[in-house]
Amino acid sequence: MSTYVLLHGAWHGGWAWQRVVPLLRAAGHEVHAPTLTGLSDRAHLLSPSVGLSTHIEDVVALLEAHDARDVVLVGHSYAGQVVTGVADRIPQRVARRVYLDAFVGEAGEAAIDLQPETVAGHYRDSVAGPGFGWLIPVRSLQVLGVTDQADVDWLTARLTPHPWLTYTEPLRLTGAGDKVAASFIECTDWMRVFQTHAERAAERGWPVHTIPTGHEAMVTAPGALAELLLGECAA
């Protein structure tokens, strides 16, 4: 039995994994899908001071409280930064890092600097306007490759603004996490913002897998995603 810890991306919450969690548990594994500080059911804790280090601490505290070991740590999108930070802090508890269409950052890199410039520009503009200078408003789901109206409706009702500091705070790493095995899963049926990160993963010698779906694979392709997580990405 493994322990899977599933980390959501910007605007989401632990609920985003509802279609994947039962599949992993049915295979006999322990699964945690926490909501990061300031998002969704923890939106009451949102403030301008919530940053990347806050979310790394969220997950470190979770793993230590449960004395979780041999963890398969999965990060979607923005949460790739969190996965990297957690593995660096407590590598002895993490068996594998899985980056699901996610940032593969290095020491000193912030999420905003890891995006294509056009996308980063949209983020900066939205933060400066409707984001009041410290929030990232929710992006269009159609832009993220969600096409089924039922999925759009389900997601839209639950998404919340995301703290900007998480995108501007750089990773501070010791290099300890580099020893933890890693895999990358790229979602290919959308604008492929994370293609360069899949390439970075391949350059590092990580296994790179693909799922022919939009960016929200845990919603639009839960079966294919669970199959990868239970198979090659858990080895």
Catalytic residues, by residue number, are 77
Do residues 233 and 99 make contact, with C-beta atoms less than 8 angstroms apart?
Answer: no
Give me 105's structure tokens: 């950052």
Whole-angstrom distance, CA of residue 55 vs CA of residue 50: 8
Whole-angstrom distance, CA of residue 153 vs CA of residue 163: 23
DSSP string across 153-208: HHHHTT---EETHHHHSPP---SGGGGSEEEEEEE-SS--TTHHHHHHHHHTT--E
How remote is the C-alpha of 87 from its chain's centroid?
Answer: 14
